[in-house]
Amino acid sequence: MTEPAAVPPPTAGRAPVWLTRNVKVLCGVSFLQDAASELLYPILPIFLTVVLGAPPAAVGAIEGVAEGAASFTKVAAGRLADRIPRRPLIGAGYGLAAIGKLIIALASAWPLVLIARVTDRLGKGMRGAPRDALLVEGVASGQRGKVFGLHRAADTAGAVVGPLAGLALYEALDHHLRPLFWAAVLPAVASVALVAAVRDPRPHEGGAPTTTATTPWRSLPRAYWRVLAVLLAFNLVNFPDALLLLRAHELGLPTAGVVGAYAVYNLAYAALSYPAGALSDRLPRPLVFAAGLVFFAAGYLGLGLIHAPWLVFVVLPLYGGFAACTDGVGKAWISTLVPDHRQGTAQGLYQGATGAAVLAAGVWAGLAWGSQGRLPLLISGSTALLLAATLALLRFP
């Protein structure tokens, strides 16, 4: 007698459980926004110093102040994301980023770029925690590394497309920089429109009720604060990437070379983000994060020690491994330490505190930069190695 055909498992041919509608849509939103941001980001230090006449210290200060402004917004937006609908916060955040790019396109002096970058980063601060809370909505803690890894990969794929599109436009427009800033506005506006496709279940549906304004931080578990302290210490030496690109230019790379090197960095970042996130679902996340700090040290120490411009194309892909092993992995790590109804608060405080640390790092690195920036790079790279050893040897949740 013929045996009946085997019935395929219910999940055959279906998307993985963790690949929700919001994960897909928000990956698309982030791809478009990052394509816009990274089209202009690698040329911004050159635009500031060469076209607008800003000193190197201003580059670090602008990025540091912008990140610092975002830090306070991240904390506030995170707490709001646990109390009100998240989609309006996400849409407003991406909208402010688009406005910031428009201001840069109009800038005739470097203080206007400061205003533009603050506007852009305020938007990032407003959208980050609400978006990350929606990304893990309904996703088991053991699969969140994949979620954040895929989101980082999509986000950073935009960071590959953006610089390459910018490089093509730079050559086509006879090496004029300002038109590139106008081109960046288009995908930024498209990302705002796509936010309308996000599904926004009411916060606290089936969860704990909202408590008093002072309770959310106090209710976060001790393990969360331990991890936050270590990550905060690291970001005190993690200064903005704009200074790394300035170092590449100072080593002798022309503008096209700087953009190309940045695209290679982002290609490594995008390619490694999902594997690193998936690995963090199998191995202890502190170990994966520690590996990222080793890549960070390789990038910073490498840029501090090399003299040949072509070596930038070797060092920056290693630095891409740092971002892949820490950005999404750090968010996934944080998300597993707190209950679902505190995701916005926890992510906002984490992103805000580390952003404030980047503010301090940008200021001290910019002031200590000197003629070539070797000293800040060597200090930061060495410190990262010490913190990597700490994470690998001590027990963290």
- Backbone φ, ψ for residue 236 (5° rounding): -70, -15
pLDDT at residue 7 is higher than 60: no
* Residues 386 and 81: beta-carbon distance below 8 Å: no
Residue 341 — very low, low, confident or very high, per pLDDT cuts 50/70/90?
Answer: confident
Q: Collapsing DSSP states into helix, strand and coil, what is residue 258?
A: helix
Q: What is the pLDDT of residues 205-246, one digit of tens each?
A: 444 444 444 556 677 888 889 999 999 999 999 988 888 988
Superfamily covering domain 21-202+212-393 = MFS general substrate transporter like domains (1.20.1250.20)
Q: Which residues contact 1 (CB under 8 A, 6 or more apart)?
A: none
Instruction: Give pLDDT, residue 276.
Output: 93
Predicted TM-score (pTM) of the model is: 0.76
pLDDT band at 358 (very low <50, low <70, confident <90, very high): confident
Determine the pLDDT at residue 13.
55
Q: Judge contact between 69 and 121, C-beta under 8 A.
A: yes
The answer to whether the CB of 34 falls within 8 A of the CB of 159 is: yes
Angle between helices 285-305 and 374-393 in degrees, nearest 10 = 160
* pLDDT computed for residue 64 by the predictor: 67
Q: Residues of the chain with pLDDT > 70: what percent?
A: 91
Whole-angstrom distance, CA of residue 77 vs CA of residue 70: 10
Q: Alpha-carbon distance 35 to 25, whole Å? A: 16
Please tell me which of 177-191, 294-308, 339-353 the model is most confident about, judged by mean pLDDT.
294-308
pLDDT at 295: 96
**Alpha carbon separation from 280 to 145, 159, 254, 356 (Å, rounded):** 6, 23, 38, 26
Mean pLDDT value across the chain: 84
Q: Answer yes or no: is pLDDT of 69 > 70.
A: yes
DSSP secondary structure letter of residue 108: S
pLDDT at 210: 46
pLDDT band at 202 (very low <50, low <70, confident <90, very high): low
Kindly report which listed range (36-45, 112-121, 247-256) carries the lowest average pLDDT score: 36-45
Which single residue is written with the structure tokens 């609908």? 85
Q: How confident is the model at residue 340 (pLDDT cuts 50, 70, 90)?
A: confident
Mean pLDDT of the 180-196 span: 89
Do residues 377 and 315 lie in contact, with contact meaning Cβ atoms separated by under 8 Å?
Answer: no
Q: What does the pLDDT look like over 82-92, one tens digit per residue?
A: 888 888 899 99
pLDDT of amino acid 216: 62
pLDDT at residue 31 tops 90:
yes
What percent of the chain has pLDDT above 90?
26
